[in-house]
Amino acid sequence: MSCSLRTFRPGLALAAALVLAPPLTAQMTKADVAAFLDAHTAQLSDVADQIWGFAEIGYQETRSSALLERRLEDAGFTVTRRVADIPTAFVASYGSGKPVIGIMGEFDALPGINQDSVPTRQLVEGKASAHACGHNLLGTASLGAVLAAAEWLKRTGHAGTIRYYGTPAEEGGSGKVYMVRAGLFDDVDAVLSWHPGDRNDASPSNDLAIISAKFRFHGIAAHAAAAPDRGRSALDGVEALDYMANMMREHVPQETRIHYVITNGGAAPNVVPDLAEVYYYVRHPDAEMARSIFQRLVAAAEGAAKGTGTTVDYEITGGSYAELPLNSLQQVVYENLKQVGGVTYDARERRFAEVLKQTLPPMPALSVAAAIQPFAPHQTYASSDAGDVSWNVPMSTLNTATWVPGTAAHSWQAVATGGMSIGDKGMLVAAKTLAFTAVDLFTDPAKLAAARAEFDKKRGSDFKYVPLLGDRKPPLDYRKSGEG
């Protein structure tokens, strides 16, 4: 492993450090909540660093989820493991009664990317995955937020329940959808979510609904030189589908996104492949339009099979709705984000950021990390399984500057910054903002009522939730390429 700029953090007695303190006073202000999180910054950073190092991909996050579960149990939470038929999904609760406020945490990494926590391109030997979307920070900030909210409940004696939702496999595995389907959010009054980013923003935003699927073509193997006439190439079926899908791009709504990777293209050039697989994502802001475009892709696959003398089947591996934004709830988050403030770099972090920015296109100044973006609804073009949560319970979202301004998600630069103190600082902004918002929702029923009223109006009285992935079981092996 190359030399790293990561600050060494000695092993800490986390179990003792994160146990909630005994009641000190009947009052606990937001300033006290912030002080609680400041006092636990080193411990939270240690958790984030460990998950960064584990870099476990979807539904395989055994060490990451176990670490978070232990920290929550040590702090007095009741933890229910292996929920929704998912080994790495869990729910942790503290307190009792209403309101019930949930905060979601993710912890899966991305395959096929690798980077050390340094500002130049350097690989970590032997690693095949990394936290290029910052989920090591995401799950840990949410941990800090629920610990702070639980401390507030304990000190004040206020009624209410704070919950941590450990949600695996966000990256294409739709973990939250199965948790929604299992009824785990049914009694929740509001859910708070957040995501790492390159700036601080609590504006309402629309993203994209998504359906993902693996198309498997089956042909007839033969010697590609001596007996090609006897073969029917499954790879030809994949390539024919890809060609038709690329032509289809001209004839779909402009907000549509279609992308794919060939996950199995055969084993040797001199063997006509009898099995090939391609993995597709189809996205659109409207769930029903995404479903319609996906059916066109299925028809193209069937045509590709017919034209190449092969057969095809497909498996929907994931699917989620676009998020349902609520201006009323986002306004609460926004006011708290302004109170917390953004990220200021020290001299070492500024040197790191300046070197990293040389690897990026011309982008905003570093001062963007300290700013709070204006409250302005906007469209984004990513997807998240949090969308299904937002159609079942009022939900807010948040972005904080865990990355150097100009850094894109799913990049090596995101891995590098998310593994050092710049990421930790943005993580702490998120933890404080989420905790402050939870306190507001515990103490002001009008805020919850306004969010619920907007939620009911936007969703509509005739809305019926139908998961885009149907009634399938969680695809615990979705990260494996098709071999059968």
Pairing of strands 399-401, 78-81: unpaired
| 378 within some domain | yes
| 247 & 105 share domain | no
Neighbours of 275 (CB within 10 A): 20
| 330 & 301 share domain | no
Query: What is the 3 state secondary structure string of the chain?
Result: CCCCCCCCCCCCCHHHHCCCCCCCCCCCCHHHHHHHHHHCHHHHHHHHHHHHHHCCECCCCHHHHHHHHHHHHHCCCEEEECHHHCCCCEEEEEEECCCEEEEEECCCEEECCCCCCCCCCCCCCCCCEECCCCHHHHHHHHHHHHHHHHHHHHHHCCCEEEEEEECCCCCCCCHHHHHHHCCCCCCCCEEECCEEECCEECCCEECCEEEEEEEEEECECCECCCCHHHCECHHHHHHHHHHHHHHHHHHCCCCCEEEEEEEECCCCCCECCCEEEEEEEEEECCHHHHHHHHHHHHHHHHHHHHHHCCEEEEEEEEEECCCCCCHHHHHHHHHHHHHHCCCCCCHHHHHHHHHHHCCCCCCCCHHHHHCECCCCCEECCCCCCHHHHHCCCCEECCEEECCCCCCCCCCHHHHHHHCCHHHHHHHHHHHHHHHHHHHHHHHCHHHHHHHHHHHHHHHCCCCCCCCCCCCCCCCCCCCCCCCC
Q: What are phi and psi of 473, to 5 degrees?
A: -80, 160
| 312 & 420 share domain | no
Angle subtended by helix axes 445-459 and 421-443, to nearest 10:
100
How far, rounded to the nearest angstrom, does the alpha carbon of residue 265 sit from its chain's CA centroid?
Answer: 29
End-to-end CA distance of the chain: 36
| 103 & 170 share domain | yes
| 243 & 357 share domain | no
Instruction: Give the domain extent around 275.
Output: 209-320
The count of domains in the chain is 2
| 218 & 309 share domain | yes
As averages over each run of 10 residues, the pLDDT of the chain (484 residues) reads 39 44 67 98 98 98 98 98 98 98 98 97 96 98 98 97 98 96 98 98 96 97 97 98 97 96 96 98 96 98 98 95 98 98 98 97 92 95 95 98 97 98 98 98 98 97 94 91 40
| 483 within some domain | no
Q: What is the pLDDT of residue 480?
A: 77
| 478 within some domain | no
Q: What is the pLDDT of residue 363?
A: 82
What CATH number should be reported for the domain holding residue 252?
3.30.70.360
| 243 & 302 share domain | yes
Q: What is the pLDDT of residue 479?
A: 87
What CATH number should be reported for the domain holding residue 194?
3.40.630.10
| 260 & 144 share domain | no
